Amino acid sequence: MSNRLFAAGVAFMFLAGCATDPIPAEQIRLTEQAVAQAKAVGAVEQMDELVLAETKLAAAQSAIADQDYKRARVLAEQAELDARLAEARVLTSKSEAQLADLHGKLNRLRKQLGEQQ
Amino acid sequence: MSRFLAAAGGVCLLALAGCATSPQAQQALEQAHAAFDAVKDNAEVLHAAPKDVIRAGESLARADRLSSYSGSDDDVVHFAYLSQRYSAIATEHGKLTQNNERLAALELERQRLQLTLREAKLLSVQQQGALLDAQMASVLTSNTDRGLVMTLGDVLFDTGHSELKASANRTVLKLAQFLQLNPRRIVRIEGYSDARGDAKMNLELSRARAQSVADMLEDLGVDAKRMRVQALGEAYPVAENASSIGRAQNRRVEIVFSDEQGHLSDER
């Protein structure tokens, strides 16, 4: 009796499994990592890409709660790249600020040298 | 007749191309193609982020493939989105690499200019000879509370201005040399003013003068991290403010040295 129940259970799980994707746990982990990394390099909460990433990550997590694993995976994949773009943009803008600073210092030096001669 | 044929052909083509994709999916595909076209032949981007460019291409190919099946609009939009993001990330990495290369080149240029400036200043000091000693432009004192203190007098600045005069060269060079010989020592550069005029303006002038000493030292190769700048304005006069001589003595920049371990006395 319990054997038959078990078989029915397995059959049901198999059928259900056909229609749904697995839980995208690994992808969620990657996305969380990417968001944390973007924040670690100094992405601020107002940044468009970071807002997108965090909103989609939260939506992906609630999709998992609703057992809509395909939607969760899609959202998490997009959120990962949103976060990576946020990180890349922060790094670029930092290097631009460094460049501006260095240009200022070079101008000052050239001015000094001009006065010296 | 031929116009009719052309129109009919156009409709057929549209029907074929559009068989599986909504306008929204079509638009997403076009945007992803445009983004990928911009990075795929860009040597700098390819060099900086080859993996992201490859992934942009793979995602785009997948979106293209899916667009020929019906009912896959959401997937088309998704992979087009991923492709576009990969292209954007690759673009940013390309910019970053370029900026870093530029930074390295400018840093070399900066070191070269610092060296040139040091040499130029040394030369001008030699030309000015002993004249400066008589001016007593700078005085080194040892103060029990604050440690070693060097005072740069008002004569080293133009009246009312913050720029150092050429006559400050010797002092500043000595300072830079001293700091290079004592790499663990740090300094606090304090600006002071006399009490004539607006207190706020005086505070600003004292800050600007202290900062210009710090800038000059940085130009000569002293790491900015070793210098702190503090404006004290009219506070702590060393002479009375009633006479012009007293006021001139009060307008000064003091350099407070740390001990050899890098410990600086407390701020005033």
Measure in Å the smallest separation between the Cα of A9 and chain B Cα atoms. 31
pLDDT grade for B10, boundaries at 50, 70 and 90: very low
Question: Looking at residue B121, what is its pLDDT?
Answer: 82
Best B55, B84, B101, B102 residue to mutate vs chain A (most A CBs within 10 Å):
B102
Strand order in the sheet with B187-192: B138-143, B147-152, B252-257, B187-192, B227-233
Question: Looking at residue B18, what is its pLDDT?
Answer: 46
Q: CB-CB: which of B78, B93, B114 is closest to A88?
A: B93
> In this structure, what token pair is assigned to residue B44?
């700098």
Q: Which residue of B has its CA nearest to A73?
A: B78
Q: Residues 6 or more apart from B183 whose CB is under 8 A from it?
A: none
Domain boundaries, chain A: 24-116
Q: Which residues pair with B252 in a beta bridge?
A: B192
> In this structure, what token pair is assigned to residue A20?
């749904």
Percent of chain B at pLDDT above 70?
85
Contact A99/B106, CB-based, under 8 Å? yes
Span B251-266, pLDDT tens digits? 999 999 888 888 888 8
Nearest partner of B196 among B121, B247, B253, B264, judged by Cα:
B247
Span A50-87, pLDDT tens digits? 999 999 999 999 999 999 999 999 999 999 999 999 99
Write down the architecture of domain B137-257 according to CATH.
Answer: 2-Layer Sandwich (3.30)
> E strand or H helix at B72, and its extent?
none
Question: Distance of CA B263 to CAs B26, B144, B146, B180, Å?
Answer: 66, 14, 11, 17
- Which has the higher per-residue pLDDT, A17 or A57? A57
Distance CA B237, CA B254 (A): 12
Distance CA A27, CA B70 (A): 27
Q: CB-CB: which of B95, B96, B103 is closest to A102?
A: B103
Contact between B242 and B202 under an 8 Å Cβ cutoff? The reply is: no
Measure in Å the smallest separation between the Cα of A40 and chain B Cα atoms. 17
**One CATH from 3.40.718.10, 2.40.50.100, 3.40.50.300, 1.20.1270.390 for A24-116:** 1.20.1270.390
Span B189-222, pLDDT tens digits? 999 999 988 999 999 999 999 999 999 999 999 9
Contact between B90 and B56 under an 8 Å Cβ cutoff? The reply is: yes
Span B141-165, pLDDT tens digits? 666 678 888 888 877 887 778 888 8
Domain boundaries, chain B: 2-100, 137-257
DSSP letter for B101, please: H
DSSP letter for B193, please: -
Span A21-40, pLDDT tens digits? 799 999 999 999 999 999 99
pLDDT grade for B9, boundaries at 50, 70 and 90: very low
> In this structure, what token pair is assigned to residue B98?
């370029």
